[in-house]
Structure 1
């Protein structure tokens, strides 16, 4: 198994996420965009996950090869991102974000499927590779935080571009996974999607990411308005992902002991607590440290358990499209819907009420898991 070559992709990919998500709202705010516009632009970043993974997933499943698609998508995302530096106004910035995020969001689901093909029967070891994405995220958050303090927000797109190039270079070293022999009696994707437990699984992923909408779009802005400096903001984001690394290190054992269903249920309970803590106690640093530590559950543990379930729910030729559907439903529909809604709520009801509503969305997702996902069975 090409462990370090796979790990390098996750390192750069989630490093680019670490440079983008915590600081993109602040960068857009400095360029004169309103809260509503920022919500719309962040929603675009996430909305392309609805279409892009499915288009590229269909192509990969049809061709039976994933790495050429991952390499092409990674290269085109870096090229398209160059237009950020010259985009002027909401319409131009929106168009640029549609272009680069369409390609950027195409690569991860196919790399997830390629990683599992390299893992073979050792699927529980996925988390030990994915943790390098968390390490990349932490380093990028720290680098940009220091850069902002000395150079301002102009450093944000420069670091993002450099990391996009790193993503593309890392894909050149990853070999194609082992070919999978698909049984003729493998279920159809349409048949799988008629199963209530799979519908509930996808809907719960949508609701979990929808509950993160205000967090991704406005948390850094909320912190800055409460008096936190650039290093403190970066430190809180880095702390969240540092705790997440510990979860990834022990995730294969947790899946063996508790199973994906119980882990998912716990993450929704902790998501409710997290959004309430952020909304009510933004000015209390110790509470924010605790709330950010819960990122290990609401993103790290949730994502690892969900990817594990998606691998089992979508076998054979449905694997690429299944991973793409999970990404589209959760990060695409859920993330975009959450960002759009939070942009409206932020300007009309305020930050605290917005995070209370995010907690309600997370509670609804937990009810779906409790009622339908893998009852009486455990992966």
Structure 2
């Protein structure tokens, strides 16, 4: 009999395996279909912008029906079916529509999975981190494997790899169990106003959005960035592997970290270290040793930030608000911020000629996020 810990870890593994394929190599696939950097940026912005709608759309049904796990299973099924369309379509708008539909279903799963996991593990930072690290392992497995396969077999293998991983994700959702037995309830939208309008939440939200904007060049063009700087094809998987190893280590140590440092200080550290990361990548990316160092910073710019954000949301919102709070966070921070970042990176990249200025702009954006986060009320955050 599989434990709930194993079932949830399996779901995270396959969910983030999809991201391990899409984040570095979707741009490579689109370039292989003949699109330039501006068109790639636009398509990635459309792909990311569905996070604005998808999480809230699925959160509504989860709140309305009380059948959170069913929502996760339906979303995974529709994501798998829609991705299959990439085998049959070509051209800007057909691909844009297929990617948008796929992302609408796939991204809508994550807030529900996060809430299900946090409740199942009794909101324990230690157990959540141990489950979440399996997502990091899924990410690294697909990033490394996909880099080798696509380099040897061509960019079109992206679609086949994606379908295989999505079948794995779909099967993992069928194994999950929800033991809470929560009854359907009417969404309590009025009660969200006070926490949403608080100074701390607004600052947290804006800073997080800017951080995701700064990730635009990394999420959109990292594989092309490595190629254009003359590094070997296997370097993409290697460098992503380094970032995910430190990410996994951070998730494992998250419980100890949160005992020693406050959410306030961890958020600020994440923003400022990310600014340094993008600056180094923009100015000295031709040096492999320095690129390895920038990937080590991923421990702060992603793992620490994500863990601290989950703790902030759990602390800031009541239990009956968690679905909608997670959906708002994913929609606004990752959806709006990611879409703006992808579109801006596409405009600045100039088919590789704008590599340096794009990363400098990203560094300035992350620095601004850090400055904004300094204005948060530390005492109120930890009360």
Tell me which interval the TM-score lies in, with the shorter structure as reference length: over 0.9
Alpha-carbon distance in 2 for matches of 1:211, 1:261: 20
Deviation at 1:180, TM superposition (A): 6.2
User: Match for 1:358 among 356, 362, 365?
Assistant: 362
Q: Please say if 1:14 is aligned against 2:16.
A: yes
Q: Using structure 2 for the length normalisation, give the TM-score.
A: 0.94
User: Match for 1:310 among 313, 327, 350?
Assistant: 313
Alpha-carbon distance in 2 for matches of 1:179, 1:124: 24
The question of whether the paired residues in 1 share the 8 Å contact of 2:126 and 2:252 is answered with: no
Is the partner of 1:355 in helix, strand or coil? Answer: helix
Residues 172-321 of structure 1: pairs in structure 2 closer than 5 A? 172-179=174-181, 188-321=191-324
Residues 1-379 of structure 1: pairs in structure 2 closer than 5 A? 2-179=4-181, 188-347=191-350, 350-372=354-376, 374-378=378-382
Please, which moves more after superposition, 89-98 or 121-130?
121-130
Deviations 1:79-121 (A, max 9, x none): 0001112221111110111111100011011010111110115
- Cα RMSD of the aligned pairs, angstroms, is 1.9
The question of whether the paired residues in 2 share the 8 Å contact of 1:61 and 1:318 is answered with: no
Deviation at 1:179, TM superposition (A): 4.7
Alpha-carbon distance in 1 for matches of 2:59, 2:188: 21
The question of whether the paired residues in 1 share the 8 Å contact of 2:207 and 2:373 is answered with: yes
Gaps of at least 5 residues in structure 1 are none
Deviation at 1:33, TM superposition (A): 0.5
Q: Using structure 1 for the length normalisation, give the TM-score.
A: 0.95
Deviations 1:215-271 (A, max 9, x none): 111121111011122211111111111111100100111112102111111111110
Deviation at 1:187, TM superposition (A): 7.4
Alpha-carbon distance in 1 for matches of 2:284, 2:77: 42
Alpha-carbon distance in 1 for matches of 2:123, 2:47: 34
The question of whether the paired residues in 2 share the 8 Å contact of 1:53 and 1:328 is answered with: yes
The question of whether the paired residues in 2 share the 8 Å contact of 1:117 and 1:177 is answered with: no
Deviations 1:16-73 (A, max 9, x none): 1101111111111111001001101111221100011011112212222210000000
Deviation at 1:302, TM superposition (A): 0.6
Gaps of at least 5 residues in structure 2 are none
Deviation at 1:2, TM superposition (A): 0.8
Alpha-carbon distance in 1 for matches of 2:377, 2:224: 36
The question of whether the paired residues in 2 share the 8 Å contact of 1:15 and 1:138 is answered with: yes
Deviations 1:146-191 (A, max 9, x none): 2123212222221111111111111111111425699x99971122
1:188–1:152: structure 2 CA closer, same or farther, 3 Å change rule? same
Alpha-carbon distance in 2 for matches of 1:121, 1:328: 22
The question of whether the paired residues in 1 share the 8 Å contact of 2:7 and 2:175 is answered with: yes
Please, which moves more after superposition, 54-63 or 368-377?
368-377
Alpha-carbon distance in 2 for matches of 1:187, 1:312: 19
Please, which moves more after superposition, 227-236 or 132-141?
227-236
Alpha-carbon distance in 1 for matches of 2:377, 2:174: 38
Instruction: Give the ranges of 4+ consecutive aligned residues of structure 1 lying more than 6 Å apart after TM superposition.
Output: 184-187
The question of whether the paired residues in 2 share the 8 Å contact of 1:272 and 1:363 is answered with: yes
Alpha-carbon distance in 1 for matches of 2:335, 2:75: 17
Please, which moves more after superposition, 126-135 or 59-68?
59-68
Residues matched between the structures, number: 378
